[in-house]
Amino acid sequence: MSGVLTTGLSSDTFKDIFHGGASLSYDEAIDRAKQVVLNFLRQKQQPFSGVRPADLHTPFSEIDMDIPLDNYEELMKEVQRLYTDHAVAFHLPHYIAHLNCPVVIPALAAEVLISAINSSLDTWDQSAGGTLMEQRLISWTAEQLGFGTDADGVFTSGGTQSNLTGLLLARDHYARKRLGHSVKRSGNPPQAARFRVFASEKAHFSNLKNASLLGLGEQAIVEVGTDHRFRMDPEALQNALQREIQAGNIPIAIVATAGTTDFGNVDPLDEIGSIARQYGLWFHVDAAYGSCLLLTSLHRHMLNGIELADSVTIDYHKSFFQPISSSAVVVRDKRTLQIIKHHADYLNPEDQDYEEFPAQVNKSVSQTTRRFDALKLWFTLRLLGKEKLGDYIDTIIHTTRQAARIIEHDPELELLTRSDISVLLFRYIPDQRTTSDLCKLNEYIRKKTFSDGKALVAGTRVDGKFYLKFTLLNPITTEEDIRSILDILKGHGNSYKEEKKIPVSAGTSIQDYPGPGQVYTN
C-alpha cells in the first residue's frame, strides 16, 4: 500500500530526509543557515579573528559527538562559535593573501540546487541534463582557449587534479605513440625511468607531486631557469632539452604556467608551444590562475599561444569567482581522453552508445561520484555574462598596478617585480640591515598581521629571501585599501624596529616571536 510504513516508525521519523514530506524541515534548515551567512557578512569587520588552534582545543574537546543537539538554533550557535566567528573572510578588501577569490551570488544560489538535488555527474542516468550542461561549459571554455570543435574535457576537484590529468595523458600518449606500449594495461614501460618533463623552476609544486604519483618520480621534472620576471626562459628550455637528450633521457612533455602562484606572471606560451612542436612533445599549460585572462579582451593577449596546448588546467574557483570547488582540464583533441577510459558493466558498459548517452566518468582520472559543480558556472555566465566578469578582472589588474606604483615610490618598501596579473612581492626595508635581519623583520610583520587579523597577507621566499606577498583577487579592493594595508604592515615593522623587543640574532625564528598578549622575557 502506497504511503504505509512497515518498519514501525512514524512518518515524523523521516522529516530530516530530503523528500516531498519534509519541505517544512528543509525550509527551516535553509533559513537558519541563511541567517548564519547573513550574520557572517554583517559582523565581519576584519578578515580574521586572530584565533589560534590552542584557543579552540578546549571547546572542541567538550563536544560529545554521540549526543545530538535538540534543534537547529543550538546547532547554528555551536557552528558560529566554533567556525564562522573565526572563518577567514575572503570577501573583505583587506584580505589579499592567497588565491582565494570572493564569490558571485548566482553561484551561491546554484549551490542550493547542487547540494539538495545531489546529481552525480559520472553517468547520464544519474545526471541527465547536468551532463549536457557540463559538456556545453567545457565546449565554451575550449572556444575561449582557441581550440577547435574536436576539443573536450571534464570538471575536476582543482588545479592539482587537472595537472595530474595533463601529465598522465602526456606519459601515456608518448608511451603509446612512440613506444607502442599501453601504460593502462602494462604499467610504466622500462624507459619511464628516463622520461623527463620540463617546467619552470617557479611552476606549481603539483608537477613534482604528480610525477611521483605517476611512478615517474620527482626526478622526472626538469626545472627550467627563468628570466628577470620569473617566467620560463625559452633559451634555457632549449638548453635543458638538449642537455637531457645528450644524457640519454627522454623528453615527453613541457608544462608552461599561465599565472605563477608567487608572481602572477605568464610564461611566453607562443615560444614554448613552438618548442614543444619542434620536439614533438606534449604541451600542457597550467592556467589555474591565469585563465581569468580569458574573460577580458583588454588582457587576453597575454595568453597568446595557449591554443597550441594539448591540455590546459582551468580553475574557475580562482579566476571566475566561483565557490570551491570548480575546475576543469580541457584537451585540444578529445581522442586523447580515450587513454583514461575504463569500463564497468554496472556503470559505463563498453557496449553503450556514448554519443546518445554520454558519460563524463569516461574522462575523469580519479573521480567517479562527482558533484554538479558546473551548475555554478552556468548560473554565473547565464546571469552575469563573460563581459561583467572580465570587468572585474580588469579592475583587479588595474588595482595591482596602482599598488605596484605605491610600493615602488615608498622609500621604505622594495618591490621585487611587477606582475602580469595580480601578485606582488615586496619587503619592508626601513634601514640598512643584513639579508638575515630583513628576513626576520618581514617574517615578524607577516606573523603579527595574521595575529591581529586586520589585514591578511601572505609570504614566501625567493632565492633565500623572505618577501611579503599581496594576491589581489577582489575587485572591491581599492587603492585606499592598499594604502591602509601597507600602513598596518609598516606599523608592525616600526614596532619591531623601535621597541627592539625582538633580538635580531642567529637562531631566532618566526616561531620565537610572541603572539597577541605575550611579551618577551629575554
192-229 pLDDT tens trace: 999 999 999 999 999 999 999 999 999 999 999 999 99
Residue with cell 637531457: 244
User: CA nearest 131: which of 321, 356, 301?
Assistant: 356
Does pLDDT of 384 surpass 50? yes
Beta carbons of 202 and 263 less than 8 angstroms apart: yes
Confidence of residue 510 (pLDDT cuts 50, 70, 90): very low
Confidence of residue 447 (pLDDT cuts 50, 70, 90): very high
Does pLDDT of 406 surpass 50? yes
| pLDDT tens column, 456-491 | 999 999 999 999 999 999 999 999 999 999 999 999
Non-local CB neighbours of 239 within 8 Å, separated by 6+ positions = none
The per-residue pLDDT for 481 is 98
Domains of the chain by range and CATH?
150-358 (3.40.640.10), 387-512 (3.90.1150.10)
| pLDDT tens column, 309-356 | 999 999 999 989 999 999 999 999 999 988 887 766 555 677 665 576
User: What H or E segment, with its residue span, contains residue 251?
Assistant: strand 250-257
User: CA nearest 226: which of 199, 253, 195?
Assistant: 199
Length of the chain: 522
**Is the pTM value of this prediction over 0.85?**
yes
What grid cell was written down for 20? 516531498
% of the chain at pLDDT higher than 90:
78
Residue 350 to residues 70, 125, 135, 198, 359, Cα–Cα distance (Å):
50, 15, 21, 36, 11
The per-residue pLDDT for 503 is 45
Non-local CB neighbours of 125 within 8 Å, separated by 6+ positions = 357
User: CA nearest 140: which of 382, 391, 360?
Assistant: 382
The per-residue pLDDT for 508 is 35
3-state class (DSSP) for residue 312: strand
The per-residue pLDDT for 500 is 56
Does pLDDT of 507 surpass 60? no
Does pLDDT of 10 surpass 70? no
